[in-house]
Amino acid sequence: MEPHWDDLRVFLAVAREESLSAAGRRLNFDPATVGRRVARLESTYETTLFIKSPTGYALTDVGQRLMSHAVRVEQSLLDATEEMIGQTSGLTGQIRIGAPDGSANYLLPQVCANIAADNPDLEIQIVALPRVFSLSRREADMVVAVSPPTAGRLTVQKITDYKLHLAAHRRYLRQHSPIKKLEDLKHHNIIGYVQDMIFDKELDYLNEIGVRKINLSSNSVSVQINCVRAEGGLGIVHDFAIPFMRGVRKILPNEVNLTRSFYLVRHADDRRHEKMNRFSEALCEGMRHEVARLEALS
C-alpha cells in the first residue's frame, strides 16, 4: 500500500515539532488523530519511524531517511502549486524564518511588516530562539545566522555587517564611578551571556574584550538589553538596538567597537523555488536598509 501525502504531511509535522500535540496544533488536528496517522504510516512501511523519549518524539534512522524524501515531495508540491498559480500577484502561503533574538526583536519586525504589506496573502512566521536552527529538520524555511555553517546541503549568503558597543543607562553611569578605560570595568556590574549557553563563538563578546567577571547573565540578548535598560550595569549591545533603548548610550566607543555579520542560510533544494528566492531578496535588502538606518540613529 502506497503512503498518502496527508500521512507524510503529518509525519513531517511530528518530526519537526517532536510532539504529537505540537504537531496537531500546527495542522489543526487533535493529538489522537496525529498518532493514528503516524501509526498508519508505520504500518504501511512496516517499520518504526519514531521513538518516544523523555524530550518527545525522536526520529529513528529509517525515519531520518524518510524525512529527506518527504521534504523533497513537499517541496515539489509547493513548486507545482507556485507554477500553476503563477507570479503575477504577490507571494502567498507561509514562510518561517528562524533568527537569534537580537535580530528577531529589533530588525525583523520592521522588515517583515513591510514585506507583508506588499504581500497580503503571505503569512510570515518569525521564530526567535537563542540557538542554532536545523534546516534539515525544516524547523524553519530559512535562518538568519551570525556565522556561516560549514556542513550540510545549504546555501549561504552574507546579508550585512553590523556593529556592537559597550553601553549603559545614563542613570547607572551617574550613580557609579567614571569609566575612562577598559580597566575601570572591574568596578562595574557587567551584563552578558551565560557562558556555557553561548551557541555561537561570534557571541562571546566579553571574552573578546578581556572581561571575565559577569554579574548578570542570560542566554537571551533581549533579556540582556532589558537589564541594561533597567540600569543593571554595562553590556555589549547591538548599535541597531540602541535607538529602542531610551537613556542608553555607548561607553568607550573607540576601545570597544565590535563588528559581526548576518548570514541568510537556506536549504540547497530551495534554490529552484522562486517564492523563496523572491522572499530572500526582499528580506536581505530590508535588513541591510534597516541596519544602516538604525545604526545612523545610535
Q: Model confidence over 146-191: pLDDT tens digits? A: 999 877 778 899 999 999 999 999 999 999 999 999 999 999 999 9
* pLDDT confidence bin for 226, thresholds 50/70/90: very high
From the candidate CATH numbers 3.40.30.10, 2.40.50.140, 3.30.70.20, 1.10.10.10, the one assigned to the domain spanning 5-83: 1.10.10.10
pLDDT at 255 (0 to 100): 94
* pLDDT confidence bin for 141, thresholds 50/70/90: confident
The answer to whether the beta carbons of residues 101 and 130 sit under 8 Å apart is yes
Domain ranges of the chain: 5-83, 90-160+261-297, 161-260
Q: Do domains 5-83 and 90-160+261-297 have the same CATH topology?
A: no
Q: Grid coordinates representing 55?
A: 524530550
Q: How many CB atoms lie within 10 A of CB 258?
A: 16
Taking the CA atoms of residue 210, residue 216, residue 220 and residue 225 in that order, the dihedral angle to the nearest 10 degrees is -90
Averaged pLDDT of the chain: 88
Q: Which of 131 and 198 is assigned the larger pLDDT?
A: 198
Q: What tens digit of pLDDT does each residue of 75-113 get? A: 777 666 666 555 546 788 889 999 999 999 999 999 999
Q: pTM for the complete prediction?
A: 0.73
Q: What tens digit of pLDDT does each residue of 23-69 get? A: 999 888 999 999 999 999 998 888 999 998 877 898 899 988 888 88
pLDDT at 134 (0 to 100): 63
Q: Grid coordinates representing 84?
A: 500553476
90-160+261-297 has CATH 3.40.190.10 classification: yes
The residue with cell 504589506 is 117
Spacing of C-alpha 33 from chain mean position: 30
Its CATH architecture, for the domain 161-260, is: 3-Layer(aba) Sandwich (3.40)
3-class DSSP state for residue 78?
A: helix
